[in-house]
Amino acid sequence: MSLQSQQSTPDFPVVSINRDKLMEDIHYTAQWGEGERWGDSPTDIGMARLALSDSDKLVRDWFMEKVKSYGCNSHVDEMGNIFAIRPGKKEGLPTVMGSHLDTQPAGGRYDGILGVLAGVAALRAVHEAGIETEYPIGVVNWTNEEGARFPQCMMASGVWAGATDVAQVHQIADIDDPNAVVKSELARIGYLGSTPAHWTATPLAAHFELHIEQGPILETSSQCIGAVEGVQASKWFTITVTGRDSHTGATNFENRSDALLTSAKMILRSHQVATQFSSLASTGLLSLKPGSTNTVPGVVNFSLDLRSSEDRNIDEMEKILREDFEKIARDEDVASINAGCTRGRGCTVSWKVDSDAKVANFDKECIECIEKGSEALFGQKAASLTRRMYSGAGHDSVHTSTRVPTAMIFVPCKEGLTHNPAEYCSPEDCGNGAQVLLNAVMRYDMLRSVKARL
Amino acid sequence: MSLQSQQSTPDFPVVSINRDKLMEDIHYTAQWGEGERWGDSPTDIGMARLALSDSDKLVRDWFMEKVKSYGCNSHVDEMGNIFAIRPGKKEGLPTVMGSHLDTQPAGGRYDGILGVLAGVAALRAVHEAGIETEYPIGVVNWTNEEGARFPQCMMASGVWAGATDVAQVHQIADIDDPNAVVKSELARIGYLGSTPAHWTATPLAAHFELHIEQGPILETSSQCIGAVEGVQASKWFTITVTGRDSHTGATNFENRSDALLTSAKMILRSHQVATQFSSLASTGLLSLKPGSTNTVPGVVNFSLDLRSSEDRNIDEMEKILREDFEKIARDEDVASINAGCTRGRGCTVSWKVDSDAKVANFDKECIECIEKGSEALFGQKAASLTRRMYSGAGHDSVHTSTRVPTAMIFVPCKEGLTHNPAEYCSPEDCGNGAQVLLNAVMRYDMLRSVKARL
């Protein structure tokens, strides 16, 4: 994808992103919160910029100064969210580009950061081109998206959207220091603002978020822009299989209640069922008791993470798996999983629901603006280079989508690697993403103006 | 099984065990090393009599006194093994009944203890009946069979058999106290004997061991005597499956290298193959990395414990599983295990051999003596109440069988439960076992005499 110039004649003003400056900003601001080195190049260093740390303060200070130089007025709310707004020709709500500047403790240079700095690059492009948008546009830095230091993901966008209560969230403590809570740390670094953290206090016209994919789909399909239609539903369970400890040498198969063999069949079955539904089922945690080479495990706990772009698939998969796991626990056959096995005495199975997030569906018009933005960049090739897709992971856009038109742009990241120092998005993909982001915002701004005239 | 009187006319002197006295001894000596209470009855208390502890000294002292009162001469070797020998009509090697008085830290009242105290009951019966056997008979208490305090199972019978070196074993330390080694603890409790711990220094004619089954086979089949033909071969492996960590929401099945799903298929496959070979395959340990609900595991380690009563089955199962695990790792189908699955990117698999114990085959004549001993007790019903079987667990008899004719008698234990305070063998089964043990020894003694006259 070496298509760096605009290739068609779009119906909105096209302003080119300075791609070199964007990369400079990404690597310059990485000085605040440097993490683990993973390669030989000067930029082969990960990030450890935990929310509301000293390094988070420094990058916020840099951000405030930059956006001011591009003609923005900024305000900070009581969750430390920063709203940088550049006025347009007309009064009205701003169309914003939002993401987050905090990282995981062993994070990389792109997750969240790209979305905010691409917004900064977009403001720079508009400012330097001397363009006045129809309505205000802006950039938002949402506080503590990662939930790494203060354990609540998408924390401050959740407060803004009214999903969680500010007073309660203010008291969430640092996972390592019970005396450092969100509110005290906001005050300490000078980002405890006075504006209520609420969508009614800082209303927005629309929210666009550029983000690395955090998966391998775009890279594998040689595509470079994901027009994200929403975030998958996910439902998390802890499954407990209870059998009976027994001696591996002295207990024949017929007399076993093997909780691990039973769990292995369930994990396999969940994969089969998810395949049927073009959905996902995953087990990332598994623990067993008592844990000895010569003892058949009596108890196994494992996590089951079901995901789908349709809520009803989650419901149906859960229903089927609850029935099938009962049968598997009784050592009855399901889908030939018991073929060639010796039937034992069976186990029991119980389920606990750990979380249940419905599908977040993004705004159709915003998604189309992204596609048009990709067309403006890639011309005829846009159709093959762009794909509609669902996000598997949660983002601040999940919360904004409950209050304002929202969509996301994904760009490839190498091997899908993320939450890892070696997370990587090429300069080309960063630039493409930033350009599509700006194009989408310009088109949305134009459409609002057209609609207002109707 | 309420057949407490001898039912046939055997070809050896039949002497009845005092079953009540046997149970009295079991519960009386349990005062030394009382463990956890698990029920309401006065004897519903487990055992915690670690080898060479103060309570081990006290039960040894009791044992020495008892066997002396039944006409035995005892000696202790440099491993603390006690050999109590009752002279016969003729000079010659003794036919012994051996097992161990030490227990697991959360053990029960029967594992090992029954074998030694049934030997004491046998000596008492012979002594009180005023019988002189053809050759000497006796009882052996082997030191630290459990390997719980000093981590080497069947420790002192192994030294006696020449499988391990006494100087090295003397330096094995208490798992909790590096200053307490086997030799210093033997000396401390007064059981560091002067006789070399070696089969040439204390030669035996034959070794019979009564033991609880530690499995559910006799109980399930409503049988009460196992004539143990040997101990299964076992080979232990650690299997490592290496895939790639990835996000459970953002990584589609096609792009995963799921080390846990792959391991689940391998565990299922090992069970199928063991079923084909009428053998056993078990996984008692499994750990994974990184361990997070929303991360597909990149690395899984699991134990694989193969057992069979034929060495060649172990070899063949290993061969098949090494080939099949390679295919499963590459996400190729084996025995339809992949039916209904989505093929991913595959993993790699590696094997480490942790231990390799060949089949121990017991002596045919000793096994027949046990069967004849059961016939003498049960008459015509003996055939249905007795079964030939292999032991799944190791015992001191594994070591003695390498040097002298050996066989074991199994009696049922409730639900196969063992190494547990609630381990239970009914008074009837304890008595039956002790009686068959004495009968087998009497027959073996008689056969030696007959052979000597030929």
Which of A338, A357, A376 is the C-terminal boundary of a domain? A357
Residue type, A370: I
d(CA B289, CA B285): 14
**pLDDT band of B10, cuts 50, 70, 90:** confident
Residue A2 has pLDDT above 70, yes or no: no
User: Who's near A382: CB < 8 A, 6+ residues apart?
Assistant: A225, A371, A374, A375
ipTM given for this complex: 0.86
d(CA A77, CA A159): 11
Whether B365 and B349 map to the same domain: the answer is: no
Tens digit of each residue's pLDDT (9 = 90 or more) over B148-170: 899 889 999 999 999 999 999 99
Looking at beta carbons, which residues of chain A come within 8 Å of B258? 282
The B residues from 348 to 407 touching A (CB cutoff 8 Å) are 354, 391-393
**pLDDT band of B2, cuts 50, 70, 90:** very low
Tell me the β-bridge partners of A107. A47
The mean pLDDT of B362-379, rounded to a whole number, is: 97
Q: Tell whether B108 is covered by a domain.
A: yes
Q: Tell whether B30 is covered by a domain.
A: yes
> What's the CATH code of the domain at B171?
3.40.630.10
**DSSP letter (8 states) at residue B32:** T
User: Who's near A222: CB < 8 A, 6+ residues apart?
Assistant: none
A286 touches chain B (CB under 8 A): yes
User: Who's near B414: CB < 8 A, 6+ residues apart?
Assistant: B219, B422, B423, B424, B425, B426
Comparison of pLDDT for B416 and A326, the residue scoring more: A326
Of A232, A254, A271, the CB nearest to B341: A271
Residue B111 has pLDDT above 50, yes or no: yes
Whether B55 and B159 map to the same domain: the answer is: yes
A236 touches chain B (CB under 8 A): yes
The tokens for B63 are 């044992």
Interface probe, candidates A223, A283, A356, chain B, greatest B C-beta count within 10 A: A283
The mean pLDDT of B66-90, rounded to a whole number, is: 98
Q: Tell whether B389 is covered by a domain.
A: yes
- What is the bridge-based pairing of β-strands B348-357 and B386-391? unpaired
Interface probe, candidates B251, B301, B325, B343, chain A, greatest A C-beta count within 10 A: B251
A248·B294 Cβ contact <8 A: no
Residue-level pLDDT at B11: 84
Phi, psi of A244 (to 5 degrees): -150, 130
Tens digit of each residue's pLDDT (9 = 90 or more) over A205-259: 999 999 999 999 999 999 999 999 999 999 999 999 999 988 899 999 999 999 9
A248·B392 Cβ contact <8 A: yes
Residue type, B8: S
B305·A294 Cβ contact <8 A: yes
Residue A106 has pLDDT above 80, yes or no: yes
Contact predicate B265/B337, CB 8 Å: yes
User: How close, in Å, is residue A351 to chain B by CA atoms?
Assistant: 15
Contact predicate A266/A239, CB 8 Å: yes
Q: Which residue reads 């009837």 in tokens?
A: B428
In the three-class reduction of DSSP (H, G, I as helix; E, B as strand; rest coil), residue B352 is classed as: strand
Residue-level pLDDT at A292: 84
d(CA A216, CA A309): 17
Tens digit of each residue's pLDDT (9 = 90 or more) over B427-451: 999 999 999 999 999 999 999 999 9
- Best CA proximity match to A369, nearest among A160, A157, A137, A154: A137
Q: Between vectors from CA B352 to CA B346 and to CA B357, what angle results, nearest 5°?
A: 135
- Report percent pLDDT > 90 for chain A: 91
A271·B253 Cβ contact <8 A: yes
The mean pLDDT of A124-147, rounded to a whole number, is: 97
Whether A65 and A165 map to the same domain: the answer is: yes
Phi, psi of B96 (to 5 degrees): -115, 160
Residue-level pLDDT at A1: 35
The mean pLDDT of B133-144, rounded to a whole number, is: 98
Instruction: Return the residue of A nearest to B266 by Cα.
Output: A264
Residue A167 has pLDDT above 80, yes or no: yes
Looking at beta carbons, which residues of chain A come within 8 Å of B107? none
Residue-level pLDDT at A194: 97
Contact predicate A429/A2, CB 8 Å: no
**pLDDT band of A80, cuts 50, 70, 90:** very high
**pLDDT band of A124, cuts 50, 70, 90:** very high
Residue-level pLDDT at B294: 86
Residue B413 has pLDDT above 80, yes or no: yes
User: How close, in Å, is residue B113 to chain A by CA atoms?
Assistant: 19
Q: Tell whether A62 is covered by a domain.
A: yes
Nearest 10 degrees: Cα torsion A243, A245, A246, A249: 110
Whether B274 and B342 map to the same domain: the answer is: yes
Contact predicate B123/B73, CB 8 Å: no
Whether A318 and A217 map to the same domain: the answer is: no
Q: Tell whether B140 is covered by a domain.
A: yes
User: How close, in Å, is residue A293 to chain B by CA atoms?
Assistant: 5
Instruction: Evaluate the CA torsion angle B196, B202, B203, B209 in order and state its sign.
Output: negative
Which of A357, A392, A412 is the C-terminal boundary of a domain? A357
A283·B261 Cβ contact <8 A: yes
Residue type, B283: T
d(CA A331, CA A255): 12
Whether A268 and A375 map to the same domain: the answer is: no
B341·A249 Cβ contact <8 A: no
Residue-level pLDDT at B9: 64
Q: Tell whether B14 is covered by a domain.
A: no
Contact predicate B372/B439, CB 8 Å: yes
Residue A10 has pLDDT above 80, yes or no: no
The mean pLDDT of A373-393, rounded to a whole number, is: 96
User: Who's near B97: CB < 8 A, 6+ residues apart?
Assistant: B115, B116, B118, B119, B122, B137, B138, B139, B140, B207, B208, B209, B210, B437, B441
Instruction: Return the residue of A nearest to B219 by Cα.
Output: A255
A255·B217 Cβ contact <8 A: yes
Residue-level pLDDT at A6: 45
Overall number of domains in chain B: 2
Centre a 10 Å sphere on the Cβ of residue B18 and count the other Cβ atoms it contains. Answer: 15
Containing structural domain, residue B208: 19-231+359-453
Q: What is the mean pLDDT of chain A?
A: 95
A217 touches chain B (CB under 8 A): yes
- Report percent pLDDT > 70 for chain B: 98
d(CA A400, CA A228): 14
A241 touches chain B (CB under 8 A): no
d(CA B301, CA B142): 36
d(CA B149, CA B181): 10
Which of A327, A357, A387 is the C-terminal boundary of a domain? A357
Whether A116 and A215 map to the same domain: the answer is: yes
| Angle in degrees, 0-180, between the axes of helices A259-276 and B259-276, rounded to the nearest 10 | 120
Whether A195 and A227 map to the same domain: the answer is: yes
Residue A407 has pLDDT above 80, yes or no: yes
CB-defined contacts A:B, below 8 A? 208
Residue type, B38: W
The tokens for B391 are 């032991």
Whether A437 and A325 map to the same domain: the answer is: no
Residue B106 has pLDDT above 90, yes or no: no
- Which range is least confidently modeled, A209-213, A246-250, A388-392, B327-331? A246-250
Centre a 10 Å sphere on the Cβ of residue A194 and count the other Cβ atoms it contains. Answer: 8
d(CA A420, CA A33): 14
Residue-level pLDDT at B3: 38
Residue-level pLDDT at B331: 96
Whether B193 and B117 map to the same domain: the answer is: yes
Interface probe, candidates B268, B333, B390, chain A, greatest A C-beta count within 10 A: B268
Residue B179 has pLDDT above 90, yes or no: yes
Q: Tell whether A8 is covered by a domain.
A: no
> What's the CATH code of the domain at A261?
3.30.70.360
**DSSP letter (8 states) at residue A214:** S
Residue A32 has pLDDT above 70, yes or no: yes
d(CA B119, CA B122): 5
A286·B288 Cβ contact <8 A: yes
Tens digit of each residue's pLDDT (9 = 90 or more) over B272-292: 999 999 999 999 999 999 888
Whether B161 and B182 map to the same domain: the answer is: yes
**pLDDT band of A9, cuts 50, 70, 90:** low
Of A248, A255, A258, the CB nearest to B216: A255
- Report percent pLDDT > 90 for chain B: 91
Residue B1 has pLDDT above 60, yes or no: no
Residue B5 has pLDDT above 60, yes or no: no
Looking at beta carbons, which residues of chain B come within 8 Å of A234? 249
Q: Which residue reads 């565990």 in tokens?
A: B267
Whether A347 and A368 map to the same domain: the answer is: no
Instruction: Evaluate the CA torsion angle A76, A82, A84, A85 in order and state its sign.
Output: negative
Looking at beta carbons, which residues of chain A come within 8 Å of B343? none
The B residues from 411 to 440 touching A (CB cutoff 8 Å) are 416, 418
Q: Tell whether B10 is covered by a domain.
A: no
d(CA A252, CA A262): 16
In the three-class reduction of DSSP (H, G, I as helix; E, B as strand; rest coil), residue A275 is classed as: helix
